[in-house]
Structure 1
Amino acid sequence: MGKMDEIIIVAPRAQLFNNEELAFQGTLQDKKLVEEIVSNINATYTTMRRGDAEEDESFKQPIPYAVIKRGNEIFVYERLQGAGETRLHNKLSIGVGGHMNALEELETFEEVLMENLNRELEEELIMTTNEQPELKVIGLINDDEDEVGRVHLCVLVVIEVHENTVIEVRETDQLQGQFFPIEKLKLNPFYERLENWSKIAMDIL
């Protein structure tokens, strides 16, 4: 099965954003509004073939997007030419995440999101630490200005790891990564190479 035949979670945009009353551009951190949108996803999400979802702007694909923070550093990775998403090649990213699959044994969208996020972290990274990382949802990111963003909705998660944590990428033919100081990432040439969601996330970190 090709990746575009994968069955993923989607939510109808009209219900998700209450017929655009809750629509926003950039970041949303207001706790009440974030909870309302997440509640709408929980009530209306369904599944769709990924290839169809990528072409249908009437649906949003919720994507967990985890920023790994170690003190004043952020883990950054670069998508190499071997990576699957050609639209993001050679871009820098501070977010780890991916499309979500339905898990019938779990009751809520939040549980499904965290289970999918943990799977993505396990698939993409080797994390060596003696301390349990702390995960926190800090908001949503919506970017309707490009073709990737128009069909996705980012659920922004910050993972605080201990200063002794070592992280390596698993798929070295597709990704390379390392920690960078936050201050450095906010300056060019690094900032201009960040993918859109990463730029938006950096602005609030």
Structure 2
Amino acid sequence: MGKMDEMIVVAPREQVFAREARTFHGVQDEQGQIQEILGTIADTYTEKRRGDAEEDPSWKQPIPYVVIRKGEKLYAYERLAGGGEGRLHNKLSLGFGGHMNAEAGVSTFQELLHTNADRELEEELHISSLEEAEMQALGLINDDNNAVGEVHLGILYTFVLPEHVDVQVKETEQIRGFWTNVEELSQPEIYERLETWSQFVVDILDK
């Protein structure tokens, strides 16, 4: 089965955004709005073939978007030309995550979210002690101004790690990982290379 035939979790845009009454651009960090949107996703999500969902903005794909942090340091990465998503080659990013899949035996959407986030981190990174991570919710990310963003909705978390925990990317032919900070990421020549969602993260962390 090709990746575009994978069945992924989606939710109807019209209901998620309450017929656009809850639409936002960038990061939504108001807790009331976050809980309303996540509650609607929990009540309305279904599965759809990925290839169809990627071409249909009437559905939003909830994506766990996890930022790895140690104190003031952030783990960033560059998508190399060997990676599969051509729209993102040579871009810089802060977030690890991906499409969600339904899981048998998972009783709540929050549990499904955490299960998928953990799976994505384990697929993409070597973290020497993931159980020591402190997971903190930051908000939701939405950007309808480009083809990638209009079909996705980011659920933004940070994983705060102790200094002694080591982090390395697994797919070194597709991704180059490195530690940086908000000050460096805010420099124009770096900021302009960031994926849009990562620009939003830098903006909120730089407040």
- TM category, shorter: over 0.9
Q: State the match for 1:115 in structure 2.
A: 115
Deviation by residue 1:111-162 (Cα, 9 ceiling, x = unmatched): 1010000000000000124871001121000000001000000000011011
Which residues in structure 2 correspond to 1:151-166 (within 5 Å)?
A: 151-166=151-166
Offset at residue 181 of structure 1 (A): 2.0
Q: State the match for 2:132 in structure 1.
A: 132
Shift in alpha-carbon separation, 1:20–1:134, aligned structure 2, 3 A = same
User: What is the letter of the counterpart of residue 76 of structure 1?
Assistant: A
Question: TM-score normalised to the size of structure 1?
Answer: 0.97
Offset at residue 83 of structure 1 (A): 0.8
Contact map agreement 1:131 1:161 (CA 8 A) in 2: no
Which residues in structure 2 correspond to 1:1-205 (within 5 Å)?
A: 1-129=1-129, 132-205=132-205
Cα distance in 1 between the residues matched to 2:16 and 2:63:
14
User: What is the letter of the counterpart of residue 31 of structure 1?
Assistant: Q
Query: Which secondary structure does the structure 2 equivalent of 1:21 belong to?
Result: coil
Cα distance in 2 between the residues matched to 1:130 and 1:98:
18
Cα distance in 2 between the residues matched to 1:66 and 1:187:
22
User: What is the letter of the counterpart of residue 147 of structure 1?
Assistant: A
Offset at residue 163 of structure 1 (A): 1.3
Query: Matched residues, percent identical?
Result: 51
Deviates more, 1:173-182 or 1:117-126: 173-182
Cα distance in 1 between the residues matched to 2:197 and 2:85:
15
Deviation by residue 1:73-121 (Cα, 9 ceiling, x = unmatched): 1000111111111100000000000000011311111110100000000
User: What is the letter of the counterpart of residue 137 of structure 1?
Assistant: A
Cα distance in 2 between the residues matched to 1:77 and 1:135:
20
Shift in alpha-carbon separation, 1:164–1:130, aligned structure 2, 3 A = farther
Offset at residue 193 of structure 1 (A): 0.5
User: What is the letter of the counterpart of residue 132 of structure 1?
Assistant: E
CA RMSD of aligned residues (A): 1.1
Cα distance in 1 between the residues matched to 2:130 and 2:192:
35
Cα distance in 2 between the residues matched to 1:181 and 1:40:
34
Cα distance in 2 between the residues matched to 1:106 and 1:169:
28
User: What is the letter of the counterpart of residue 104 of structure 2?
Assistant: E
Cα distance in 2 between the residues matched to 1:122 and 1:130:
9
Unaligned runs of 5+ in 1: none
Cα distance in 1 between the residues matched to 2:201 and 2:99:
19
Cα distance in 2 between the residues matched to 1:18 and 1:131:
37
